[in-house]
């Protein structure tokens, strides 16, 4: 199942936990044939390949870009996918509060979508190396690195979610601009239409279009004007109004700035060189 990453972070912050064991598995020798998970909950960090685990009958595909969590003593089944090589790191942990109910996050199975994170892989490799060393320093570093890896994983999930949300918002607003560019659109009207503040809208457009929403709207209007100049036998003023710009002098100025020549010269150039 999917997990609310903010609630999970709050749970981990409120409940002390410590590493109980770290194991690195690959196709060979592979995972021991077990019918149940360990007596401690654990996070599975896929490093390569693809395989499937089932926790209490619920299947999860293990592949890079995901993290799978399984609770303690759950029914476990594994399914292989052909001869594909696979590898993952399993970190078992203990929650310090032994009175936690079975409904706590540590006793649930769920999936986190982190996307590709070289930083997370680097932390996991360091975690594996430190855990296999001896001494108090290595034990301390193991705990610190595990928390750092979890922090990187949670941040990756949040960033991925924000990226998906911002792309969806960009697609909706840009499509609206494409369909209504000829109307009296303003940034304020777009903010109201999609219930988003100016800073957020500006961030989304700069992230996905490389420019702010006002510039995007103006550029699209000029792009449509370019098409109209050689498909409609009307005046420059009418073209300007047709793309939502009421001032023909302003239209000519921004057209020349963007295209390099005036609307009149652009039309003449196309008529003289139709190919």
CA distance 71 to 56: 10
Residue 120 sits in the same domain as residue 233: no
Residue 116 sits in the same domain as residue 209: no
Give the pLDDT score at 1: 64
Q: Is residue 202 part of a domain?
A: yes
Residue 153 sits in the same domain as residue 17: yes
Q: Is residue 155 part of a domain?
A: yes
For residue 231, give the CATH number of its domain: 1.10.10.60
Which of 180, 104, 119 is closest to 153 using CA atoms? 119
Residue 41 sits in the same domain as residue 142: yes
Q: Is residue 167 part of a domain?
A: no
Residue 140 sits in the same domain as residue 196: no
Residue 187 sits in the same domain as residue 154: no
Residue 229 sits in the same domain as residue 123: no
Q: Is residue 238 part of a domain?
A: yes
Residue 110 sits in the same domain as residue 208: no
Which of 41, 19, 15, 62 is closest to 109 using CA atoms? 41
> CB count, 10 Å around CB of 239?
22
Residue 190 sits in the same domain as residue 128: no
Give per-10-residue mean pLDDT for the chain (275 aa).
83 90 76 74 93 91 93 87 82 77 76 92 96 90 96 92 88 95 92 90 92 95 93 91 94 94 88 57
Give the pLDDT score at 107: 87
Question: In total, how many domains does the chain have?
Answer: 2
Residue 187 sits in the same domain as residue 113: no
Give the pLDDT score at 273: 60
Domain boundary among 106, 128, 161: 161
Residue 193 sits in the same domain as residue 149: no
Dihedral angle of Cα 91, 153, 103, 110, to the nearest 10 degrees: -90
Non-local (6+) Cβ contacts of 152 within 8 A are: 117, 119, 120, 123
Which range marks the domain in which residue 192 is found?
181-275
Residue 94 sits in the same domain as residue 197: no
Give the pLDDT score at 29: 44
Record the pTM.
0.68
CA atoms within 13 A on the CB side of 249: 0
């Amino acid at each position: 199942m999917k997990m609310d990453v903010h609630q999970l972070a709050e749970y981990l912050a409120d409940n002390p936990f410590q590493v109980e064991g770290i194991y690195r598995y690959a196709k060979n020798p592979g995972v021991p044939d077990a019918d149940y998970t360990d007596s401690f909950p654990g996070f599975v960090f896929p490093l390569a390949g693809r395989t499937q685990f089932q926790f209490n009958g619920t299947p999860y595909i293990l592949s890079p870009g995901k993290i799978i969590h399984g609770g303690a003593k759950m029914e476990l089944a594994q399914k292989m996918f052909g001869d594909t090589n696979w590898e993952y790191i399993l970190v078992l942990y203990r929650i310090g509060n032994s009175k936690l109910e079975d409904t706590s996050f540590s006793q649930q199975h769920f999936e986190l979508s982190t996307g590709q994170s070289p930083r997370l892989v680097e932390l996991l490799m360091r975690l594996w190396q430190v855990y296999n060393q001896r001494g108090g320093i290595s034990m301390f570093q193991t705990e610190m690195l595990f928390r750092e890896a979890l922090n990187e994983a949670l941040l990756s999930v949040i960033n991925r979610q924000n990226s998906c949300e911002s792309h969806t918002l960009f697609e909706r607003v840009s499509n609206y601009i494409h369909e209504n560019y000829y109307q009296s659109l303003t940034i304020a009207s777009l903010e109201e239409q999609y219930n988003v503040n100016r800073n957020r809208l500006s961030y989304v457009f700069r992230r996905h279009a490389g420019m702010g929403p006002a510039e995007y709207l103006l550029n699209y209007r000029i792009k449509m004007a370019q098409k109209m100049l050689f498909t409609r036998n009307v005046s420059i003023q009418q073209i300007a109004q047709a793309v939502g710009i009421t001032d023909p002098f302003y239209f000519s100025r921004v057209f020349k700035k963007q295209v390099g020549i005036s609307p009149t010269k652009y039309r003449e150039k196309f008529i003289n060189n139709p190919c």
